[in-house]
Chain A
Amino acid sequence: MDSKKAAQVIVQGLKKAGIDFVATLPDLKVVEVIGAVDRDPEIKHVPLCREEEGVGICAGAYLTGKKTALLMQNGGLLNSCNGLTTTCLQFQIPILLLVYYAGDLGDRGFTTVGSVTEPVLQGLGIRTYVLRKTEEVEETLRGAQILAEDSRRPVAVLLTKSVLGVK
């Protein structure tokens, strides 16, 4: 599957999960997903300058009834840890974290950030699902959003190159 098609699958999955508000910061691997989010009239897209502000923006939108996702690279997840802790966890505010898993199997150049990603999420107590198969995108996103809402906590879905249709 090419990256455009993969992006459509992911964005359709987000919409079926009820997501209508997405804050993003690019990684080369998620550019097509960001483009698809931006073009979708049913989703409010907020491009960010740094990922942690996205935690605040999504939290504020949640308070008004939006169903929010924050799309970023795992380096951005590390940038967001204080906001995730002292805004999301402390106030019990859910966000669906869509995190490109740089430094995952077969990736070069990002193995340091890759190696700390799951331990950091575990340390934060944020439940984490690694998405490797396109056929599991819709069900995983829907299920993760239900978990986030029901637990009133962020839930992370790690996007790998195979579900993004990139090398």
Chain B
Amino acid sequence: MQRYDYLKTIAGDVGDALVVSAGLAAREWQALRPGDGNFRPRTLGLASSIALGIALGLPRRKVMAIDGDGAFLMNLCGLPTIAWQNPPNLIHLLFDNQCYEASGATVTATVSGTDAVALAKGAGYRHACWVKSPQEFREEFLKAWKRGELGLIAAKVEPGQPELPPIRVDEVENKYRFIRHIEATEKRSILSPADHRPSS
């Protein structure tokens, strides 16, 4: 099973959740749940930290972070910070294919037995579990969604993804569309007017 097989089971369940995902997963998620509520960082590891910032800024909005094992390992120090803040609206998903797939598929430390769920629990996540099938993934996801507490759901997956359309939105456009989407759905103004002139 590949990550896409797991993600497609929940694409219809997440409503208007804000989703942060980097790397190859970003293209899959955009294909499965198109829209401007998807933010696609370019810094390996920072997706979960960016998702934390969004979750703290919008505490009544569901937020999801989609990590791979390379990103997860890169930002281990972010886990205690997330657990300490303990945002009830954040669900952290981890797809462990045991390699840096987007960077040429060199293996990661998880191939030696490093256990991401144990790391999350050790960092202070109260809820963290491995799932073994897309069906179990969806069940755990729906439980986490309903529970309304910080949680990590992790699955071992095979590398690879189906043929999918490329993302045509660049980083700056992604930022603006994401912010405008939040402005529209939260009915609040975030960006200053473009014709703003200081009064003095």
Contacts and interface: CB of A to CB of B under 8 A. Distances in A.
B172 interface: yes
Name which of A48, A50, A55, A65 has the most chain B CB atoms within 10 A of its CB: A65
A93 B85 CA distance: 23
B54 A87 contact: no
A92 B179 CA distance: 12
Interface residues of A, number: 33
Interface string B70-85: 0000010110110011
Secondary structure dominating the interface of A: helix
Name which of A21, A62, A63 has the most chain B CB atoms within 10 A of its CB: A63
28 contacts: A21-B56, A46-B52, A49-B78, A53-B75, A53-B77, A56-B43, A56-B46, A56-B49, A57-B49, A57-B50, A57-B52, A57-B56, A60-B20, A60-B51, A60-B52, A60-B54, A63-B39, A63-B54, A63-B175, A63-B182, A64-B190, A65-B188, A68-B53, A83-B46, A86-B42, A91-B175, A92-B175, A93-B175
Contacts of B182: 63-65
A58 B51 CA distance: 10
B188 A87 contact: no
B87 to A, nearest CB: 11
